[in-house]
Amino acid sequence: MYNSKITGLGFFVPDNVVTNEDLSKLMDTDDEWIQERTGIQERRHVIKGDDTTATMGVKAARIAIERAGIDKDEIDFIVFATLSPDYYFPGPGVLVQRDLGIKTVGAIDVRNQCSGFVYGISLADQFIKSGMYKNVLVIGSEVHSTGLDMTTRGRGVSVIFGDGAGAVVLSREEDNSKGILSTHLHSEGEHAEELSLIAPGMGKRWVLDIIKENDPEDSSYYPYMNGQFVFKHAVVRFSEVIMEGLKKNSLEPSDIDLLIPHQANLRIAQFIQRKFRLKDNQVYNNIMKYGNTTAASIPIALTEAWEKGMVKKGDLVVLAAFGSGFTWGSCIIRWA
Ligand code: UT7
């Protein structure tokens, strides 16, 4: 059995900065409410036509592959996590394979929303552990902005989400004490609809039903979030799954050099920080600048922290996520 380690990482966000002030011109909201409840000051929105979930993923991936010091044709498999694919089908994994001009390797799409990247890392890790693949490209990318209800009706959700992409290359590590030490995945479908986008879906309402009904009051094709309910579950599950990972490796919260929580809400990250008695330099947050970018938030934050020199060889880095599904997970890394 091998381990896997992150050998290259990159991110891409659109240039277009949207401030809280900008949003307050579209809906009844204000900077104070948004910052107080979420910590967000601004986010990025694609200019429609410029970028998609797949093209941003490709841009992040190019950087990750270059930093990994490998040729694109050494990538053995592609994992793409998103809730906002370019097409209903096929998923963006194959678009990345095409746009990067990689030979005909396998490509899989992960539909696990905010925890999609952690699920993707876990998948890639298993392929590498088993010896099946040597280098796996894992991407998290989202375009939220074009699908949000940018009116007062949608303000509870629309102010939170932003666009962006992050990617890593996971490669074989022969030393089992280094790299990804363990991953921990969970789901609780009982709460599937508490954070969801119901239509269009083959189950209840397809596009043709929406067009036929042509109901201006219809909000079923916008994301819905029962915010307080999600918040309460998030703080519990984040804590549980971080502890689960630490225990599995006989580690304590004080052993963490850097925690990268999914950037759901700064208040959630601060709660976890207090609970585990971590110092400011042990938790990395950038939701202030980018909002919640769902599957992209962890690889964007990890890359940014790495670029700032906050992730060094030997460090214990913990990734943790919670979101729609509900699904949640953690990843314990001894940086190699
Ligand atoms: O990434 C996936 C996981 N997601 C999360 O973990 C998110 C978890 N939830 C949250 O972060 C918070 O619940 C929110 C930030 C989404 C909302 O904060 P909240 O403190 O739970 O607010 P609320 O939904 O209870 O709304 C409070 C009030 C309401 O008005 P009334 O009913 O008290 O009159 C809302 O209508 O704030 C109103 N409101 C807003 N006001 C100004 C909701 N959104 C806005 C807004 N601007 N953007």
What is the DSSP pairing of strand 179-187 with strand 327-334?
antiparallel
Task: Please work out, in degrees rounded to the nearest 5, the angle formed at the alpha carbon of residue 105 by the alpha carbons of 99 and 108.
Answer: 80
State residue 182's pLDDT score.
98
CATH T-level fold of 3-173: Peroxisomal Thiolase; Chain A, domain 1 (3.40.47)
Looking only at the bridges linking them, the beta strands covering 164-173 and 3-12 are: antiparallel
Q: Ligand 1 mean position to 227 CA, how many Å?
A: 6
Which one of 265, 271, 293, 328 would you pick to mutate in the ligand 1 pocket, going by the greatest count of ligand atoms within 8 A of its CB? 265
- How confident is the model over 42-61, as pLDDT tens digits? 999 999 899 999 999 999 99
Interval 214-261: pLDDT, tens: 999 999 999 999 999 999 999 999 999 999 999 999 999 999 999 999
98-147 pLDDT tens trace = 999 999 999 999 999 999 999 999 999 999 999 999 999 999 999 999 99
> What does the block give as tokens for 122?
């876990």
Which residue CA neighbors atom 41 of ligand 1 most closely? 29
Domain boundaries along the sequence of the chain: 3-173, 179-194+223-334
- Please give the Cα distance from 55 to 16 (Å, whole number): 16
Residue 143's nearest CA partner among 53, 80, 61 is 53
CA of 227, closest atom in ligand 1: 13
Which atom number of ligand 1 is nearest to the Cα of residue 267? Answer: 11
Indicate if 179-194+223-334 has the same CATH topology as 3-173: yes
Distance from C-alpha of 35 to C-alpha of 218, rounded to nearest angstrom = 29
For residue 264, the ligand 1 atom closest to its alpha carbon is 1
Residue nearest to atom 8 of ligand 1 (CA): 231
pTM: 0.97
By annotation, the residues acting in catalysis are 114, 262, 292
Class of domain 179-194+223-334: alpha beta
Question: Which residue's C-alpha comes closest to atom 30 of ligand 1?
Answer: 156
